[in-house]
Amino acid sequence: MSNPNMLGLIRNEVMKIASKKRLPIVILILVILVSMFTYAQYREIQEKIEKQGTLDWRVELQQEIVDRQNRLASSGIQNDFRQFLEFDLKQKQYYLDNDINPNYPGAPTFIRIFFSQGITLVLPLFIIIIMADIVSGEYNDGTIKTLLSRPVRRWRILMAKWLTVLLYTSMLMAATVIVCYGISGIVLGYDGWTAPILTGFQASATGEFATEYIHTLPMWKYLLMSAGLAWVVTAVVGTISLMISVLVKNTATGIGSMMAVLIAGTLLSSLGSSWTSSKYLVNLNFDLINYLEGQAPPIEGMSLPFSLTVLGVWTAGCLAVAFWNFTQKDMY
Amino acid sequence: MSVKPTVQLENVTKIIGKKTIINNISFDIYPGEVFGFLGPNGAGKTTTIRMLVGLIKPTSGKIHICGFDVRKHFVQAMQRLGSIVENPELYKYLSGRENLQMFARMLPGVDDERIQEVIDLVDLTARIDDHVRTYSLGMRQRLGIAQALLGRPDVLILDEPTNGLDPMGIKDLRLFIRKLVDETGLSVLVSSHILSEIELLADRVAIMSHGKIVKVGSVSDLVGAQSAGVDWRVRDSFRALSILQESPHVQAAELYDDHTIHTLMDESKTSILNEALMKAGIEVWTIERKVQTLEDLFISLTGGDHIV
């Protein structure tokens, strides 16, 4: 066994982060957010019951389909958006035809929606809150000098920090599931783990709606996949912010640049598909759950394997830069 | 000396951009000695220390700690070295004990018993479980030393250890270092820009200026090596000056202020000169032997660089 071992180094990092109480703060934010969403959901349900006098999802889905048809019939909508609507319409029709409720009421559905909405912004933001100063904080406090004059090679110290990022990413996913489940269940009920959900919708090369890959999954399996994809995205964001933390000594600057990366991603992907090579940008590949849901991808030619590959290449690149810089740099 | 040095610097140079920060310096430190590293701010002391602890790569030259090259055998070299670089930079949001536990995990063979041992050694037992941010500067300094001693090093490096300490604290630190060296036989490198400190603490001194080492030697050799000066305080300094300048026993004499004359002379001839002055009717108030201090030496070596 090499001494000092990696586990001890990780323990050190956890000790530092734990004493800054970052995870409890993030969980508190999560609790507040989820409580608000749950309340909003509750009000929506009440309103629907008032309007329709019933909570039949079939009626609701039928209304949404009619709405899509009306919008498609109107002139002057953009080609991209038309395609999106058509796809959405067909998906909803498919749910209705197969008698599957796409929004089975219950806490598990809430978790599903939270992951789907949170994967591009909220969850990455949380990992930035926890991790942004993992290296730059050591520069700011001057502790980097004490840390790097230990009999431990620099790459091992950075490796411990990176593994800590992955550890906290996992804890963040677990906390998200637990908080969402616990709070939303009060209003929505706690069952629905085995409700069927459809996945595998695909646009064919020509953008047509294809049904050959569609299959049902129990909710718990689908959630596991969602959480896994959210883990990947959050870990990638954590890795990029680790690199920025190494390169930029000022924590505030580091957080700022990470925010810019995230927000630029959401802006670009909503701007549309004219700039096709933008699909190689890391921040346009964060919406992995999109592929599970079977929405049309933001840019043609993007798929789950494509996005995972792009994320993988970027992660490897960021790690290489971070490790190279950290092990070679003179520390003043 | 047949004893192997614990620290060896061989022709170490550091160039940043086009600027030569450290210019070809070499020195050795031996077991059981306190080595003073003296120079004004900006002379390159801290840069040299950072190269010693592996924070900065030298542009050329070699650094060995107990025979291990700092670049090639970083882990082995650092296992034999404890240091405080500039201020003791510790994790303020952790307690003193947590800090030590953390550093202990990065060293081989340091258990809770050893942690308690160094806590007792620096006398921090009462406050060790408080957050470091509540510590006074002196306590942080002591925790820094505890941290540096955790791994039972052969070399202890203290960069400006008296910064921010009160006179009592400085004295305590001096006694502590002396005791430590006497008991364990380790080598201590202490840097400072304050001469009186180094003079009292160090066995040998390296004087640094503009990135070069201008002199290395034992304190007793450096101080008082040159012939002594004698200061004369008299009423009529002009006449006294001419008498002193004419005397064969005086190598140099110069007027310092209205009544004071600095001389460099053979001190055994003081009474002869005194008699000569009295015969000329010059009132002599005081005669004082001036030992050359490190400060005088420093000024003569560096041409009056800024020094406290």
Pair A270, A305 in one domain: yes
Topology, domain B229-291:
Alpha-Beta Plaits (3.30.70)
pLDDT digits (tens, 9 = 90+) for A151-176: 999 999 999 999 999 999 999 999 99
- A6 CB within 8 Å of a chain B CB: no
Q: Above 80 in pLDDT, residue A318?
A: yes
Nearest CB to A4: which of B86, B93, B105? B105
Structural domain harbouring A61: 56-103
Q: Tell if the CB–CB gap between A152 and B90 is shorter than 8 Å.
A: no
Residue A51 included in any domain = no
Q: Where in chain B is the domain with CATH 3.40.50.300?
A: 7-221
Residue A49 included in any domain = no
Q: Tell if the CB–CB gap between B151 and A151 is shorter than 8 Å.
A: yes
Contacting residues of B for A330, CB less than 8 Å apart: 50, 55-57
Pair A79, A189 in one domain: no
Q: Tell if the CB–CB gap between B89 and A16 is shorter than 8 Å.
A: no
Comparing A290-294, B25-29, B152-156, B272-276, which segment has the lowest mean pLDDT?
A290-294
Q: Mean pLDDT, to the nearest integer, of A210-216? A: 74
Under DSSP, the state recorded for B173 is H
* Range 143-162 of A in CB contact (< 8 A) with B: 143-146, 148-153
Cα dihedral A226→A278→A236→A327 (10° resolution): 170
Residue A48 included in any domain = no
Nearest CB to B56: which of A8, A153, A331? A331
Return left, alpha or beta for B34; rule: phi > 0 is left, psi -120 to 50 is alpha, else beta.
beta
Q: Mean pLDDT, to the nearest integer, of B279-287? A: 90
Q: Above 60 in pLDDT, residue B126?
A: yes
Q: Mean pLDDT, to the nearest integer, of A51-70? A: 82
User: Which stretches of A189-303 are DSSP H helices?
Assistant: 219-247, 251-271, 289-293
Please report, rounded to a whole number, the percentage of residues in chain A having pLDDT higher than 70: 94
Nearest 5°: phi and psi at B194? -105, 120
Q: Mean pLDDT, to the nearest integer, of B95-100? A: 95
Pair A14, A148 in one domain: yes
Q: Above 70 in pLDDT, residue A3?
A: no
Interface test with B, best of A7, A134, A145, A154 (most B CBs within 10 A): A145
Residue A64 included in any domain = yes
B88: closest chain A residue by CA = A146
Interface test with A, best of B19, B49, B59, B102 (most A CBs within 10 A): B102
Query: In the structure, what pLDDT confidence band is assigned to residue A1 with cuts at 50, 70 and 90?
Result: very low
**What is the C-alpha separation between B208 and B301, in angstroms, rounded?**
10
| B252 touches B264 (CB < 8 A) | yes
Under DSSP, the state recorded for B267 is G
Q: How many domains does chain A have?
A: 2
Q: Mean pLDDT, to the nearest integer, of A7-33? A: 94
Residue A78 included in any domain = yes
- The CATH class that applies to domain B7-221 reads alpha beta
Return left, alpha or beta for B213; rule: phi > 0 is left, psi -120 to 50 is alpha, else beta.
beta
Q: Above 50 in pLDDT, residue A325?
A: yes
Residue A301 included in any domain = yes
State ipTM.
0.82
Q: Tell if the CB–CB gap between A332 and B89 is shorter than 8 Å.
A: no
One-letter amino acid at A51 equals K
pLDDT attached to residue B306: 47
Nearest CB to A15: which of B50, B79, B94? B94
Q: Above 70 in pLDDT, residue A60?
A: yes
Structure tokens, B222 = 């450096």
Chain B: which residues have CB within 8 Å of chain A? 50, 53-57, 74-79, 81, 83, 85-94, 98, 102-103, 105-109, 147, 151
Residue A47 included in any domain = no
Average pLDDT, chain A: 87
Pair A65, A126 in one domain: no
Pair A184, A294 in one domain: yes
Q: Above 80 in pLDDT, residue A205?
A: no
Question: In 3-state terms, what secondary structure has residue B93?
Answer: coil
A157: closest chain B residue by CA = B106
Pair A309, A174 in one domain: yes
Interface test with A, best of B85, B106, B155, B189 (most A CBs within 10 A): B106
Pair A304, A175 in one domain: yes
* Range 259-278 of A in CB contact (< 8 A) with B: none
Q: Tell if the CB–CB gap between A149 and B78 is shorter than 8 Å.
A: yes
Q: Where in chain B is the domain with CATH 3.30.70.100?
A: 229-291
pLDDT digits (tens, 9 = 90+) for A255-313: 999 999 998 888 887 776 677 888 888 888 998 988 888 776 777 778 889 999 999 99
A160: closest chain B residue by CA = B106
Query: In the structure, what pLDDT confidence band is assigned to residue A2 with cuts at 50, 70 and 90?
Result: very low
Question: In 3-state terms, what secondary structure has residue A27?
Answer: helix
pLDDT digits (tens, 9 = 90+) for A117-143: 999 889 999 999 999 889 999 999 999
pLDDT digits (tens, 9 = 90+) for B290-306: 766 666 677 666 665 44
pLDDT digits (tens, 9 = 90+) for A181-192: 999 999 888 988
pLDDT digits (tens, 9 = 90+) for A271-282: 766 778 888 888
State the nearest Cα–Cα gap between A86 and chain B, in angstroms: 56
Q: Tell if the CB–CB gap between A8 and B92 is shorter than 8 Å.
A: no
Comparing A45-54, B53-62, B161-170, which segment has the lowest mean pLDDT?
A45-54
Pair A243, A313 in one domain: yes
Q: Tell if the CB–CB gap between B78 and A11 is shorter than 8 Å.
A: no
Pair A266, A163 in one domain: yes
**What is the C-alpha separation between A329 and B102, in angstroms, rounded?**
24
**What is the C-alpha separation between B132 and B90, in angstroms, rounded?**
8
Size of interface A-B (CB pairs under 8 A): 86
Pair A250, A151 in one domain: yes
A1: closest chain B residue by CA = B108
Q: Tell if the CB–CB gap between B55 and A9 is shorter than 8 Å.
A: no
| B207 touches B215 (CB < 8 A) | yes
pLDDT attached to residue B75: 94
Contacting residues of A for B76, CB less than 8 Å apart: 151
Query: In the structure, what pLDDT confidence band is assigned to residue B308 with cuts at 50, 70 and 90?
Result: very low
Query: In the structure, what pLDDT confidence band is assigned to residue B31 with cuts at 50, 70 and 90?
Result: very high
Pair A225, A257 in one domain: yes
pLDDT attached to residue A38: 92
- A12 CB within 8 Å of a chain B CB: yes
Pair A187, A157 in one domain: yes
Contacting residues of A for B147, CB less than 8 Å apart: 146
B98: closest chain A residue by CA = A15
